[in-house]
Amino acid sequence: MTYAEAEDILSVAAQWRADGEQVAVATVTETWGSSPRPAGSRLAITASGKMAGSVSGGCIEGAVADAAQMTMTTGAPQLLDFGVTNERAWEVGLACGGRVKVFVEKLA
Amino acid sequence: MTPDILAALTEARAAKRPVVLATQLPGGAQLLLPNPDAAPDLAAAAAHALDQDETGTVKLSDGDWFLHVHNPPMRLIVVGAVHIAQALVPMAAQIGLSVIVVDPRRSFASDDRFPNTTIVTEWPDDALDALAPDARSAIVTLTHDPKLDDPALDRALKSQAFYIGALGGRKTHGGRLKRLRALGHDEAALARIRGPVGLNIEAITAPEIALSIIAEIVAVRRRSPLARREPAAQAAA
């Protein structure tokens, strides 16, 4: 990932953290088949509900944001797997039929 | 991510130093590379990822590692602060290129015409010597004036720039190739110049031509079949 886009999300997240917010960062670590965002794409989320960036075309952001709230509370990172073989993917509807793994970590 | 890692990553990006953020999955242990403390197989995998500019997950002896490449933005050097450049600069910024506009004619290369843009008003050969384009640089000449375009293309051909484009129709381009041949560039070198510049989308207006140039830069960068051309030197022969 070379385009400035993904890196800007980290700047936004760092700024939110510096402003005293609780912040989690979700990053696409692996993709299979058709998926709209490449590995390295980031989504930053705050406990107060702000979001910047994306890890999909919009279909899994809600579920990732829920997981991020948990990571912000516990401090424990999570590796989420969204795909057609995954029950959760049916729930949130990964309409493209692809599969992505998303790593969610707290900005300490 | 620990504050130390975030600070080191932020510092590397500000210094435009290429680094890899390695995360062990699923545990989340992190390391910024290059790093003398890294295990040899992780160091080798990170070096390869940087070289290939490829972010992804790799399997190593101690499990899965997500290697997130943070390269400085690719550069686009635009020679000629002309009307098409005014359309091209914001589009290039949109796709994440770091843009530099080169034109010694200050009436063209003004802050009014190019707000918030890095402008160099040196002669193009001097400007390119100072900018030292590398394999992560694209160079586009737009002046249509041989005394500005030629020295820029001469320097571009001596660089590893991944994209070299020159505005001008086939006839203009033929004359240009003749002059560059006289400067000692061989056919293989001349074939690197994309002229007429841009993907052939029958662009007419300045923004359309800018779009065709951006589309071709993306096509080359992403290795699209659309990026293939007849060698320019052959077409002009």
Give per-residue pLDDT as tens, A19-64.
999 999 999 999 887 777 889 999 999 999 999 999 887 778 889 9
pLDDT score recorded for residue A1: 38
Residue B59, SS3 per DSSP: strand
Q: CB-based burial of residue B138 (10 Å sphere; 0-12 exposed, 13-18 middle, 19+ buried)?
A: buried
Give chain B's end-to-end CA distance (angstroms, integer).
58
Distance CA B21, CA B171 (A): 49
pLDDT score recorded for residue B232: 46
E runs forming strands in A1-108: 23-32, 42-46, 51-53, 78-82, 99-106
* Residues in a beta bridge with A108: none
Distance CA B100, CA B219 (A): 21
pLDDT score recorded for residue B166: 97
Give per-residue pLDDT as tens, B14-34.
888 999 999 999 999 999 999
Contact B13 A4 (CB under 8 A): no
* Among candidates B13, B28, B70 on the partner chain, residue whose Cβ is nearest the Cβ of A105: B28
Distance CA B129, CA B155 (A): 7
Q: DSSP assignment of A63-92, as one string?
A: HHHHHHHHHHHH---EEEEESTT-HHHHHH
Exposure string (b/e) for B161-176, b if CB count within 10 Å is 16 or more? bbbbbbbbeeebbbeb
Mean pLDDT of all residues belonging to chain B: 93
The residues spanned by each domain of chain A are 4-106
* Among candidates B3, B9, B69 on the partner chain, residue whose Cβ is nearest the Cβ of A108: B3
pLDDT score recorded for residue A94: 59
pLDDT score recorded for residue A8: 81
Question: Domains in chain B, ordered, with CATH?
Answer: 3-70 (no CATH), 75-236 (3.40.50.720)
Contacts of A3 in chain B (CB under 8 A): 73, 95-96
pLDDT score recorded for residue A50: 94
Contacts of A108 in chain B (CB under 8 A): 1-3
**B232/B134: higher pLDDT:** B134
Distance CA B78, CA A55 (A): 32
* Among candidates A5, A39, A107 on the partner chain, residue whose Cβ is nearest the Cβ of B55: A39
